[in-house]
Amino acid sequence: MTADDLSSTAAQQEVVLVIGASSGIGRASAIEFATRGASLVLVSRSATTLADAAADCRTAGASAVECVPADVLDPDAVQAAVDRATSTFGRLDVVVHTATVMAYGRIEDVQPDVFERVVDTAIQGTFHVFRSALPVLRAQRRGHVVVVSSLLASITAPTMGAYVTAKWGQLGLIRTLQQELRDLPDVHVSAVAPGGTTTPIYEQAATVLGNTGHPPPPVYTPERVARAVVARIDDPRRLKQSGVANPIIIAGFRLFPPVFDVLVGPLLKTFGMARDSVAPTTGNVFAPVPEKEATRGSYFGF
C-alpha cells in the first residue's frame, strides 16, 4: 500500500496513535480501535512485541497499522511518532497514552533511580506526549487525547509510593491541560482510571518486597478498560473511573482517612500481593521485558 493509498484510507477512518501499545490496556485499546476500522500508529519500547500487537490489530480489522518503537522519555522519539501519523495519514484524530511502569517497596527501600524512572515515565512521558500532539490538534482545532490514569491517582497505598507519586502528578498535568484547552471546544482530553486490571504490569514491576503483586479485586480485563477508553471519543470526561469499587474506595480515602489508613495496608497485603518469592528486581522499569508482554496477565478478570 502506497502513502497515497494510506492517506485516502485515513480520510475515511479514525487516525489513532496508541502509546504503550505492546501490552496490557494499550494493546487492548489498539485492538478495540482496530475493530472500528481505524488507521493506527502503535508505539512502545519493545519492537518485537509491537509487531505482535500490530498483527492482532490487522486481524481485528484495522485499515492500516504503522509501528514506531520509542520510549516516552525520549522527546524526539515521541515527536517522530506523531510526525509518522501526520505524514502517513494526513492528520491525527486520537491519541491514547497508556505507557507506565511500576515499583513495589517502602519509600526508604526503593532505589532512587527506580523511583525517579517510575515518576518520570508517567509525568515527563505524558508531558512529552502532550508537547508533541497538542500543536497538531490545535492546528486542526479538533481531536481527542485519552490518558490511562489509575485509581492510585486518587488514593494512596503503602509500598506503592513511586507509582502513587507518578499517577498523582500525571493527573495534575492532565487536569491543568484540560483547563488550558477551554478555548478549543472540539479538542478533548480525557482520563480513564482503572482499578485492578489483569495486565502484565504486576509481573513486570520492580520490587524489593521479596514478592510480586497482583491486581486487587474486583479485577477487570484489559478489554473492558479499553472499551471505556474508546467510549471517551463519543463521551469525553475529565476523569472516568473504570471500576465499580473505585468511587467507594475514593470516598473512604477522603471521608474516613483514619479508618482507611488502618485498613489499606492489611487489605493490600492480602488481596494485592502474590504469594511468590522473587529476588529484588528492577523489572521493566529501565528496559522492556518482551517475554512478559501480552494483552492480559495471568490473573482472572471480568
List the catalytic residues.
163
Provide the terminal-to-terminal Cα distance of the chain, rounded to the nearest Å.
38
Residue with cell 478489554: 223
State the Cα–Cα distance between residues 154 and 101, nearest whole angstrom.
Answer: 18
State the Cα–Cα distance between residues 212 and 210, nearest whole angstrom.
Answer: 7
Burial zone of 21 (CB within 10 Å; 0-12 exposed, 13-18 middle, 19+ buried): buried
Length of the chain: 302
Name the nearest CA neighbour of 72 among 27, 31, 117: 117
Cβ atoms of 34 and 41 within 8 Å: the answer is no
What residues contact residue 76 under an 8 Å CB cut-off, 6+ apart? Answer: none
State the Cα–Cα distance between residues 262 and 43, nearest whole angstrom.
Answer: 41
DSSP-assigned letter for residue 93: -
State the Cα–Cα distance between residues 149 and 168, nearest whole angstrom.
Answer: 9
DSSP-assigned letter for residue 215: P
Going by their DSSP bridges, the two strands 64-69 and 39-44 should be labelled as: parallel
> Distance of alpha carbon 270 from its chain centroid, rounded?
26
